[in-house]
Structure 1
């Protein structure tokens, strides 16, 4: 039996590693992009928070560092196929220009050992992608209220029970909270800890809360996003009404914020 080539073994090992983290993977899958077909070394798919994500991976079992030109070419492929993330695995490292070219992009440069060691950050990026899409979808829903006819818009706005902003009983505070969520997730993705968290009832008397790790940030973001979603559903719905938006907030988040503001350590 012919011996498997090193580069092929490397692709399979990368695929198996991603599969261990819950991805559905394929080796050498052909994907149709906007500008052409691309054979991808490894594809990895996962679903989180109702959102499907596609990562594409290039594997370089080279003894020499990967140059900048390879990063730029791969970036073009990531954009062409609409992947959420691109990873280049290379055991020989990367040239300085390649590292610079990958900064502030959706491209991650890594190797098998580093990927496993940094799995918390890598898996958090999956959740970030799902949350970013949910935030964008909810922002669009709130903006769409202004496209309703006058009578329906009046009915919807009359059912708004969220926090006020600038003395206005309109969802400005909710929109500001959604915007801050995006900023916080982006800052965390670049390792800028601690990151600010804006609660829905934020005002001058209770400043922004510093969140220091992924578990905390993902928890408060998911819970606050759920609250914002419930406020919107209450506005556009025809069912029973509540008088306080706090009744729509998950109790776990209410308890956490109360503990933090009273100087207690959350359980």
Structure 2
């Protein structure tokens, strides 16, 4: 069997990095977009916070730097497919215009060594973005309750079983406040502003929780988000057996918060 060409070896090297991070990877995959099919050097998929992520990776095993036109092409493919991120790998660098095109876009220009160094932070950013996206959608779902007819809205609010507001009244404003606070905590974590303060659904009774690292923050936010989602769903489709939000909270979150509070 003849040896693989250098460009194929390069694709394999890139794919191995993403596979090592836990992604499901494929090389030379053809994906249909809105305007046509696209041949992608490497695709990387991972489910984070219940959301499937798709990253598209182009590998340029060239002897010259990559021009901006190639980056513009990748940006167009990412948009046409609806992928979450795009990456371009090159060991020969990029022209200045390429970096200007990629700035503030969802495409990263990198190399094997640079990505190995920054891989952990890329994965953290993925986890935070996925959770924040779910929180944003849930916040909009609560806001959309006001778009219901008066009769439907009155019925939904009467089914609210979440924590009370600061005045002790039953109000979903308490939940939306927690959603906002969780998004702020994720934003602080993204920029390494530790410690981060977490507001549990019962924080008025039990006080704030101080979180010192991401591996402690992400699980409690994901589980709290799930509880907030169930509270919202109960408002629209009530379960007679549910009396308050604690009936909807996962036991592992209750146990985790109790453990953290004992430690603090």
Inter-partner Cα distance in structure 1 for 2:195 and 2:107: 23
Residue 228 (structure 1) shift: 0.6
Residue 66 (structure 1) shift: 4.4
Unmatched segments (≥5 aa) in structure 1: none
Inter-partner Cα distance in structure 2 for 1:124 and 1:89: 20
Can you list the C-alpha shifts for 1:92-118, whole angstroms capped at 9, x where unaligned?
445676556545443333333444454
Partner of 1:112: 112
Residue 219 (structure 1) shift: 0.9
Partner of 2:178: 177
Is contact 1:28-1:41 (8 Å) kept?
yes
In structure 2, do the counterparts of structure 1 residues 67 and 47 end up closer, same or farther at CA, with 3 Å as the change threshold? Answer: same
Residue 69 (structure 1) shift: 5.5
Is contact 2:159-2:238 (8 Å) kept?
no
Partner of 2:158: 158
In structure 2, do the counterparts of structure 1 residues 14 and 123 end up closer, same or farther at CA, with 3 Å as the change threshold? Answer: same
Partner of 1:12: 12
Inter-partner Cα distance in structure 2 for 1:235 and 1:251: 21
CA RMSD of aligned residues (A): 3.4
Inter-partner Cα distance in structure 2 for 1:45 and 1:8: 20
Which of 216-225 and 95-104 deviates more? 95-104
Can you list the C-alpha shifts for 1:6-53, whole angstroms capped at 9, x where unaligned?
122111222233234443333233334345543322122233443222
SS in structure 1 at match of 2:58: strand
Is 1:198 the counterpart of 2:199? The answer is yes
SS in structure 2 at match of 1:39: strand
Residue 259 (structure 1) shift: 5.1
Inter-partner Cα distance in structure 2 for 1:76 and 1:248: 43
Inter-partner Cα distance in structure 1 for 2:217 and 2:26: 31
Is contact 2:30-2:40 (8 Å) kept?
yes
SS in structure 2 at match of 1:88: strand
Partner of 1:24: 24
Stretches (4+) displaced over 6 A: none
Is contact 2:29-2:43 (8 Å) kept?
yes
Q: Normalization by structure 2: what TM-score?
A: 0.78
In structure 2, do the counterparts of structure 1 residues 247 and 204 end up closer, same or farther at CA, with 3 Å as the change threshold? Answer: closer
Residue 83 (structure 1) shift: 0.7
Q: Normalization by structure 1: what TM-score?
A: 0.78
Which of 39-48 and 6-15 deviates more? 39-48
Is contact 2:102-2:108 (8 Å) kept?
yes
Is contact 1:159-1:241 (8 Å) kept?
no
Is contact 2:89-2:111 (8 Å) kept?
yes
Inter-partner Cα distance in structure 2 for 1:188 and 1:229: 23
In structure 2, do the counterparts of structure 1 residues 191 and 160 end up closer, same or farther at CA, with 3 Å as the change threshold? Answer: same
Q: 1:180-259 residue pairs with structure 2 within 5 A?
A: 180-202=181-203, 206-207=207-208, 209-258=209-258
Inter-partner Cα distance in structure 1 for 2:205 and 2:100: 40
In structure 2, do the counterparts of structure 1 residues 2 and 150 end up closer, same or farther at CA, with 3 Å as the change threshold? Answer: same
Can you list the C-alpha shifts for 1:130-183, whole angstroms capped at 9, x where unaligned?
434432443343233333333332232122121223534221121122233334
Is contact 1:84-1:129 (8 Å) kept?
no
